[in-house]
Amino acid sequence: MTGCYAVNGVTSLLCIIPACSPFAPCPSPSSLVHWRPHKPSRFRPKTADAFARISCSTGPGEANFDKAPFENDVIAAVRYLKAHGAKSVSVVGGSFGGGAAGDASIKLSPGEIDRIVFLGAAPNLSAKKLKSRSLFIVAREDRNDSGARLPGIRAQYDRAPQPKELIVLDGSAHAQFLFQTDQSSRVMHEIVRFLSVP
């Protein structure tokens, strides 16, 4: 699930907020509504819902969801935005969308993705090859069937090149569900701050 926003018509923000898996259908574009009230006025829609079903792509890996090359969708979206006038593209990715964003940064050339925000996520490939400024945000008690996510995310953070930041929040909310907690304002503040600094 994505939404694209432009800053002054030259910087684009691509949000990859997955809720699509073999076990959950893709959300509608209105599910991004929690982003809209928080985005600064200088962010305006550029290509609303152009990639509304990006996290539900089909093709190689379709038979095995865990092996699907979702980074190819991010690469296509970034190149689309660049081809349509974006001078800079930043990506906010939650859960496997963050993994896809990180893997896209690793596979793309330096400068194609300026910054990445990982929400409860990290690249699947080695983070030492990231080519983007990175902000990792994770809840301390965020868990999946394999256990706590924080140790794996911290390990990838440690491998990532500078500049990078890691913010560990109290609670257990995963990825975009951080916006449904009392940490919502802080998460949005940190994202906007990170995307806004020169």
The ranges of the chain with pLDDT < 50 are 1-10, 17, 19-57
C-alpha to C-alpha distance for 109 and 96, rounded to whole angstroms: 21
C-alpha to C-alpha distance for 147 and 88, rounded to whole angstroms: 36
* Per-residue b or e along 169-182, where b marks 16 or more CB atoms closer than 10 Å to that residue's CB: beeebbbbbbbebe
Note if the bond before 163 is cis, omega within 30 degrees: yes
Domain count, the chain: 1
Could you tell me if 194 and 117 are in contact, meaning their C-beta atoms sit under 8 angstroms apart?
yes
CATH code where residue 163 lies: 3.40.50.1820
pLDDT recorded at residue 106: 98
pLDDT recorded at residue 181: 93
Q: What is the pTM of this model?
A: 0.79
C-alpha to C-alpha distance for 41 and 143, rounded to whole angstroms: 34
Note if the bond before 151 is cis, omega within 30 degrees: no
C-alpha to C-alpha distance for 137 and 183, rounded to whole angstroms: 11
Could you tell me if 166 and 140 are in contact, meaning their C-beta atoms sit under 8 angstroms apart?
no
pLDDT recorded at residue 140: 98
- Could you count the other beta carbons within 10 Å of the beta carbon of residue 41? 5
Length of the chain: 198
Could you tell me if 134 and 115 are in contact, meaning their C-beta atoms sit under 8 angstroms apart?
yes
pLDDT recorded at residue 46: 37
Residue 110: give the domain boundaries: 2-196
